[in-house]
Chain A
Amino acid sequence: MAPVPTEQLAALARRAQAGDAAATTELLRALYVVVRKQIHFILGAGPAVDDAVQETMIALHRALPGFRGDASPRTWAITIAMRTARRQRRRDARHPGGGEDVEVAVFDVDQAGAAELAVMRRALAALDPKKREAFVLMGIFELTAAEAGRALGTFANTAASRFRHARAELEAYLARRGDESLTTPAAPTPLTEVDQ
């Protein structure tokens, strides 16, 4: 499902708040694809992910009437999903591995694409959670440092610092694992902490 432009999302949000049921459905479907991808890369795979996504969707549904439009609906959904994912991680600290079938079930990709996404997920799982969150928001969702800082509940500079450290650690991880990471769904290897 292709991403919906920000202006269109904002228009959908306005119509949804005015009581347009079709717009509500369309908006929530557009936000689902954002939230699903975000939680996939932050929490990994397994029932905990499905639970977190479902909780986020319920929260979005209920919070929609109070959405003020200060940020874009996409950033708003990402912020709510981040809070839900953190709660879920506190409840269930396991970060299950899983093969490419996880990606095949979620994304519209072929087997090769799924394998690459699985490598990305496993590499992210090896990061410290705070750095992982920053990398997902700024690297995959291309939020600015200010937007990521707001979603993470921290300063923009801190978000940017976590992103830089995360990137360096991911590059080291991928170089260390080499091509085997494309074929072996290994358990995450803890990375070395980098002082911030």
Chain B
Amino acid sequence: MSAGPDLDHLLARARQAEVRPELAVAAVAAAARAAHAPAVAHRPWWPGIAAGAGLALALAAVVLLAWPRRAAPPAAVVAIGDRVAIAVSPGGRYAVAAADDERTVVVVERGAVTARLWPGARPHRLALRGADVEATATGTVFTVAVDDRGATVRVHEGTVQVIAADGAHAVAAGAWWPDGPGGRALGAVAATQLLALPAPRALAPDATARDSTTPIARAPDAAGPEATASDAAAPSPPPPPAADAAVAAAAPRDPAAVTPPIDAAADAPTAPVPLVERWRRARLLRAQGHADAALSACLDIAAAGDPTWSPIALVEAIRIELDARAAPEAALARADQMLARWPAHALIADTRALRCRALRQLGRGAECAPPP
């Protein structure tokens, strides 16, 4: 048997390994967007109100149980990508942790968030997290509410898997987790709002007309006893004006994920590969020594015009031209392209350094000007 790799050597390699800087640029930008995601601000707890809270809560519970849809205030509806919309309760606070082709992850920090995932051509995982609980579905409407006692999950349509500290639980439509009185009316109004909406794609101002028989926005079969099977098969009704006005057009979304329109995805034989995945492939090609293929992949990404990944890929193309292909003229041209297209980008200092290297290799080091 041959000797295994030495632990100290591996440890030294792990200590020295440097995370790629372009990942930091993209991640910090995404975190800043998510940290400032639209959320209704907390309402302060006034001492005077607290004194009468017990009586008010008892009264509110009676009213909510009797007329839940009239008593609860309307929730703010936000579209996330092409297939997901969420309704946030007043006072609710959340962050979108991930939103790409394969998954949407929303972290519920406070209050109730009701989410709907519209069916589509490709599988999509929708997860709501809060207080160490994660509720996941692949096509359904459900609510996660977080308060000081923990999280409560209420399912309005479909089935949801709830993963908590004590294991996984399957929660069906009409049920809630954990058992108790708190889940009965949770998110009922928001679910009705969401079930009445067409898919977010159809709500976008530039959305093209789609086949009205496509059952993307289904009739609210779980919203009330008045819904019928013929309603479910009927063309999607237009959204109610109040809900339409409440939809936030500027949804927080990872710009790296280029999600195909739902209708286009259904028609096309293959869906486009997200930019982040194309970038990973480009990096892999370069690491494997396929410089030409890596360069081609980077230039394709650069040509996509994406504000996050295109400049990163263009800088990588400059590095490939300089190092692997030993082509300083081409590197210089691409550096000038980067300086012209994204003059304020975080990688512009790296670009200037690479440009200077190219100039020095061409014997024109004197032209290397310091940054303005």
Contact = CB atoms under 8 A, between A and B. Distances in A.
Interface string A67-97: 0000000000000000000010011100000
B4 A106 contact: no
Interface residues of A, number: 58
Nearest to B288: A111
A194 interface: no
A140 B10 CA distance: 10
B280 A105 contact: yes
Find the residue from A28, A30, A91 having the highest chain B CB count within 10 A.
Answer: A91
Nearest to B35: A61
A20 interface: no
Nearest to B22: A1
A116 B13 contact: yes
A39 B64 CA distance: 44
Interface in B1-57: 1-7, 9-11, 13-15, 17-21, 23-25, 27-28, 30-32, 34-35
B7 A101 contact: no
Interface string A100-121: 0101111111110110110110
B28 A108 contact: no
A101 B27 contact: no
B34 A111 contact: no
Contact of A117 (B6, B13, B23, B103): B13
A182 B31 contact: no
Contacts, number: 152
Tell me the interface secondary structure of chain A in the complex: helix
A85 B266 CA distance: 37
Contacts of A60: 31
Interface stretch (B73-81, B94-102, B141-149, B227-235): B94-102
A164 B6 CA distance: 16
B10 A120 contact: yes
Nearest to B102: A47
A177 B4 contact: yes
A32 B5 contact: no
B136 to A, nearest CB: 9
B129 interface: yes
B98 A54 contact: yes
A171 interface: yes
A57 B35 CA distance: 9
B105 interface: yes
A118 to B, nearest CB: 10
Contact of B283 (A50, A104, A176): A104
Q: Lowest 7 A-B CB distances belong to which pairs?
A: A57-B31, A1-B21, A174-B4, A61-B35, A33-B19, A29-B24, A32-B24
Interface of B: 1-7, 9-11, 13-15, 17-21, 23-25, 27-28, 30-32, 34-35, 95, 97-98, 102-103, 105, 107, 129, 132, 134, 163, 165, 280, 283-284, 287-289, 346
Given A36-B27, A101-B284, 8 more contacts: A28-B28, A29-B25, A30-B24, A32-B24, A47-B103, A51-B105, A58-B95, A105-B20
28 contacts: A28-B31, A29-B25, A37-B17, A47-B102, A54-B27, A58-B107, A62-B35, A90-B132, A101-B284, A104-B284, A105-B20, A105-B280, A105-B283, A105-B284, A106-B20, A107-B17, A107-B19, A108-B17, A108-B20, A111-B289, A117-B10, A120-B11, A140-B14, A171-B7, A174-B10, A175-B4, A178-B4, A179-B5
